[in-house]
Amino acid sequence: MSAARAAGRRGGSRVRYRVLAFAFALAVVTYLDRICISAAAPFIMADLKLTMLQMSVVFSAFTLAYSLFEVPAGWRGDVVGARRVLTRIVVWWSAFTMLTGAAWSFLSLVAIRFLFGAGEAGAFPNIQHSFSRWFPSRERGRANGALFLGSRLGGALAPALALLLILRWGWRITFVVFGALGVVWALAWHAWYRDRPTEHPDVDAAERAWIAQDGATSGVPAPAERVDVPWRRLLTSRNLYAICGMYFAFGYGLYFYFTWLPTYLIRVLGFSALAGGFFAGLPFVLAGGADLAGGWLTDRLSLAHGLRVGRCYLGCAAFGVCAVLLVGSTQARSPIAKAVLLALALAGADLALGACWAVCLDTGDRYAGVVTGFMNTFGNLGGFVGPLVVGYAVERWGSWNLPFGITAALYAGGALLWLAIDPNRRLDTKRSIT
């Protein structure tokens, strides 16, 4: 056993788990703010007299802006560190969450949500940058599992909490309440977090050795250093294209749950507001458990059988199961069965979520912010397209089964793309790492 691993097993500080707690809280707040608008959509549409297609544009304005600014924000974190960049990101998006409650027309709502997306872009790539500095490779899958458990917890809480606040105070005040949570997080993060484990006073020698056991980088460059991202190698990487294509499929399907699910449950399946809130939250509850299980499983399989099994085979199986469950939901006759199958489908896809982000750290290493930025850009481009397809298909053909079928086909394609990824090939090397 190496000295670093022996030191880690003996004990020492556990400051990296506090970093993970901050990341978990950030994910909760992020998804509270994102999904609040899906619960508020019927009230906003009635108040501002919006059509279903117009509301689709509102949903997609966020994801378009989020996609456009992911890579620049991820790169900025690689250059100056996650402490400064995440503080700016969270303050910005919290302000525009609050301003959503001031929208007075279709165009004003589109503009506010676009700026909200521009501000939030880079949140998860910068958390991944932080993970690449604070966690060794063997802990990154589980760290991502815990991170995305937080996102799904936020997603589970948002519909019911938002509906409760909306019924009490109205949709406008609800956005102000949700936005204020991010400001509190940003102040605490900037005060406590440090970009380098070596700079944090609570980190002891044993934990520093554990973090650096497999060459984990130690933080942002010193001011005199220059960050040279291998752009040519990155942009010609088949790995990156496969990762981006795979995550496009994931984002396309995911954003249905962020946007149209409450409307589908209440207006199409006929659930009451209370039951609709429960079934809108259920996918995120199940997905949170899948995130934890998938994060543990990807690390366990990777240690026992190698990264290809732990990342790629797991991802392929999870996406395949999701596609089958989505098709099954279109065949079910009972509204409850449809809702449950849709919930299980998201959990199936989320079983691969820890692997999705861990494979970016495997291949990107010290360029984790840029690589995850590219992946999340394509995921959110999928999220941009998805709500528009649903809105158009329903208005044009009156069909919900058609968009579900398209989503299932994309997940099946994503499953195949998992098999094209080589998690052992890093961007800063010319050959695979074995």
Q: Where exactly are the structural domains of the chain?
A: 12-212+230-418
Kindly state the average pLDDT of the residues 230-241: 84
218 pLDDT more than 50: no
> Angle of helix 314-331 relative to helix 273-305, nearest 10 degrees?
150
Average predicted confidence (pLDDT) for the chain: 85
The 8-class DSSP code of residue 121 comes to T
pLDDT band at 316 (very low <50, low <70, confident <90, very high): very high
Is the pLDDT at 144 greater than 60? The verdict is yes
Cβ contact 137:211 at 8 Å: no
Q: What is the pLDDT of residue 428?
A: 57
Q: What is the pLDDT of residues 381-402, one digit of tens each?
A: 898 888 889 888 888 888 889 9
**pLDDT band at residue 412 under the 50/70/90 scheme:** very high
Q: Give 214's pLDDT tier (boundaries 50, 70, 90).
A: low
Residue 1 above 50 pLDDT? Answer: no
Angle of CA points 288, 239, 232, to nearest 5°: 125
Q: Supply the pLDDT for residue 313.
A: 97
Using CB atoms within 10 A of its CB, is residue 218 exposed (0-12), middle (13-18) or buried (19+)? middle
Q: What percent of the chain has pLDDT over 70?
A: 92
Q: How far apart are CA 105 and CA 49, in angstroms?
A: 9
- The stretches of 204-352 forming alpha helices (DSSP H) are 205-211, 231-235, 238-259, 261-263, 273-305, 307, 314-331, 335-350
User: Between helices 15-48 and 273-305, what is the axis angle to 10°?
Assistant: 150
Instruction: Say if pTM beats, i.e. exceeds, 0.85.
Output: no
The reported pLDDT for the residue numbered 255 is 87
Structure confidence by residue, pLDDT tens digits, 71-87: 888 778 778 888 899 99
What mean pLDDT comes out for the span 220-225? 44
Q: For 35-39, 198-202, 210-214, 426-430, which range has the lowest pLDDT when averaged over its residues? A: 426-430
- pLDDT in the model for residue 66: 83
Residue 358's pLDDT is 87
Check residues 431 and 268 and name the one with the higher pLDDT: 268
Distances (CA, A) of 135 to 157, 210, 236, 239: 28, 8, 28, 23
- C-alpha dihedral sign at 226, 192, 152, 90: negative
Q: What is the pLDDT of residue 44?
A: 92
Q: Is the distance from CB of 12 to CB of 205 less than 8 angstroms?
A: yes
Phi-psi region of 219 (alpha: psi -120 to 50; beta: other; left: phi over 0): left
**Predicted confidence band at 10 (pLDDT cuts at 50, 70, 90)?**
very low
Query: Does residue 284 have a pLDDT over 90?
Result: no
Across 5-9, 65-69, 162-166, 363-367, least confident range: 5-9
* Contact indicator for 256, 35 with CB cutoff of 8 Å: no
pLDDT-based confidence at residue 5 (cuts at 50, 70, 90): low
Q: What is the pLDDT of residues 20-29, one digit of tens each?
A: 999 999 988 8
Q: Per-residue pLDDT for 224 more than 50? A: no
pLDDT of residue 429: 54
pLDDT band at 122 (very low <50, low <70, confident <90, very high): confident
CATH top-level class for 12-212+230-418? mainly alpha
Question: Over 70: is that where the pLDDT of 330 sits?
Answer: yes
Tell me, what amino acid is at 286? Answer: L
How many helices and strands (H and E) does the chain possess? 19, 0
Is 215's pLDDT higher than 70? no
